[in-house]
Amino acid sequence: MIKAVKGTRDILPPASGQWAFVETRVRDIFGRYRYAEIRTPVFEESELFRRGVGEETDIVSKEMYTFSDRDGSSITLRPENTASVMRAYIEHRLDQLPGIQKLYYMGPMFRRERPQKGRYRQFHQIGAEVIGSERPEVDGEVITMVFDLLQATGVKDFQILLNSVGCSECRPAFLAKLRDALNSVKSHLCQDCQRRSDANPLRVLDCKVPADQHLINLLPSILDSHCQRCREHFDVVKGMLSDLAIPFIIYPRLVRGLDYYMRTTFEFTQSALGSQNSILGGGRYDGLAAQLGSRVPAPGIGFSIGQDRLMMALEEEFGNRPSVLDVFIAPLGASATRLCSTLAHTLRGGGASVEVGFDAKLKRALELAHKLNARYTLIVGDDEVRSGQYLLKEMSTGSQELVSRQHLLSKLSIATEHGI
């Protein structure tokens, strides 16, 4: 038997319906903030990620799915989407459009990492990018939108971690200080951190190995090395969130995993997810366009939500919210079956969810309606066809009444409108 490839999975009902529900809520929030959807290819030239994400990152050095195309070019399945969105922004000269560009996306990404709970080799991201402004108020609005987005989808008890990783003016001095501090402890750190100490020392701060934590906590804080512009930028972001009563925690070790980040970085976490508790992360990347060869400045900030992780955070919420069927129709007899097909179509056109039990006996139909969590069961036999009066049973109370077609349409219209 052929099975799904390791690190991939099928999203089956009812989970697929829960994913669609969340995506609908997310699209609604994006619409309120005036974001438009962008859809980029799932594969790009490999150079895009080498230059945009960074040669020394784990993603590029260890995790990308890269292959040679028939013409000899190197192609990579996208491991993230910010570089792709910026490529599209540059290629299609979106800087010529009025105002800043606010774009969102949803779709699969690919990284060959060790599969574990909530992490897959084909995973799904929901993300957004704002390109064309370096104002700190934009950073604050992005974080505010994410706060609204998680609340709208039902995520509870999340925390916001906030940091600023400086800029090209102040970060070199901090990196020199960090390298000096690492020289004395490098041999006591994990192998990954020993490698990063030379190639990308900022990433050492993001180490998750428990045995390294006591040493990493002694390393210098980037907050002590900010230039005046970075300090002022960060103060505006913090002040805006405070004005909106959005709680956050300053976390100086939050550096994110990609080379293009600068100044504001943030992460949303939830303790219910365990040690790997991140739901989403993001930050500012004012230099990314230049890294991709653009001569036009394109400062930006964005975030991405691991949708697989988001759905894990919502497991309890969805576990307490069973899917609801408005009406299960049980036709008894040939003429009733024919009538019920047209009746179901009319009810669906009015907004009701309807299931017709074409091949069920009455007892079996009632059992199935109960298992499907139907609000009502409509029983239609040959007698009901002749009289035009149908037996409607309310499943929660067991009460029954004879209803005309018009009364039925009116009753179900009110029920679906008010969710009763």
> What average pLDDT does this structure show over 381-395?
87
420 pLDDT tier (thresholds 50, 70, 90): very low
Q: In this predicted structure, which of 53-57, 68-72, 126-130, 229-233 has the lowest mean pLDDT? A: 53-57
Calculate the alpha carbon distances from 420 to 62, 367, 368, 390, 394 in Å: 52, 21, 20, 20, 11
**What element of type H or E holds 357?**
none
Please give the distance of CA 418 from its chain centroid, rounded to a whole number.
29
DSSP structural state of residue 257 = S
> What average pLDDT does this structure show over 133-155?
96
146 pLDDT tier (thresholds 50, 70, 90): very high
Looking at residue 273, its pLDDT comes to: 67
Strand partners of residue 389: 404
The Cα–Cα gap between 76 and 60 comes to 10
Q: In this predicted structure, which of 101-110, 221-230, 409-418 has the lowest mean pLDDT? A: 409-418
Q: Provide the token pair at 224.
A: 């002590």
205 pLDDT tier (thresholds 50, 70, 90): confident
Looking at residue 267, its pLDDT comes to: 95
Largest interatomic CA distance in the chain: 91
Comparing 4 with 204, which gets the higher pLDDT?
A: 4
Residue 8: count other Cβ atoms within 10 Å of its Cβ: 14
322-348 pLDDT, tens digit each: 667 899 999 988 888 888 888 899 888
Element counts in the chain: helices (H) and strands (E): 16, 16
349 pLDDT tier (thresholds 50, 70, 90): confident
Q: Residue 289 burial (CB < 10 Å; 0-12/13-18/19+)? A: buried
> What is the DSSP annotation of 274-298?
-SS-EEEEEEE-TTHHHHTT-SS--
Looking at residue 258, its pLDDT comes to: 62
Sign of dihedral through CA atoms 350, 355, 361, 365? negative
269-298 pLDDT, tens digit each: 987 665 568 899 999 999 899 889 888 889
> What average pLDDT does this structure show over 219-225?
89
Looking at residue 200, its pLDDT comes to: 80
* pLDDT above 90 (res 266): yes
Kindly report, as residue ranges, where domains of CATH 3.40.50.800 are found in the chain.
325-418
Per cent of the chain over pLDDT 70 is 94
The Cα–Cα gap between 8 and 306 comes to 14
Looking at residue 168, its pLDDT comes to: 86
The Cα–Cα gap between 388 and 235 comes to 70
> What average pLDDT does this structure show over 108-123?
88
* pLDDT above 80 (res 257): no
* pLDDT above 60 (res 417): no
**Architecture in CATH of 325-418:** 3-Layer(aba) Sandwich (3.40)
Q: Specify whether the CB–CB gap between 165 and 336 falls below 8 A.
A: no
Kindly report, as residue ranges, where domains of CATH 3.30.930.10 are found in the chain.
15-155+261-318
The Cα–Cα gap between 66 and 46 comes to 7
25-77 pLDDT, tens digit each: 999 999 999 999 999 999 999 999 998 887 767 788 789 999 999 999 999 99
366-370 long-range contacts (CB < 8 A, ≥24 apart) are 366/330, 366/393, 368/328, 369/325, 369/328, 369/330, 369/395, 370/395
418 pLDDT tier (thresholds 50, 70, 90): very low
Q: Provide the token pair at 17.
A: 């319906």
The Cα–Cα gap between 280 and 276 comes to 11
> What average pLDDT does this structure show over 193-217?
83
Looking at residue 321, its pLDDT comes to: 60
DSSP structural state of residue 61 = I
CATH topology of domain 15-155+261-318: BirA Bifunctional Protein; domain 2 (3.30.930)
Which amino acid is residue 101, in one-letter code? Q
The Cα–Cα gap between 174 and 253 comes to 13
The Cα–Cα gap between 293 and 409 comes to 61
* pLDDT above 60 (res 388): yes
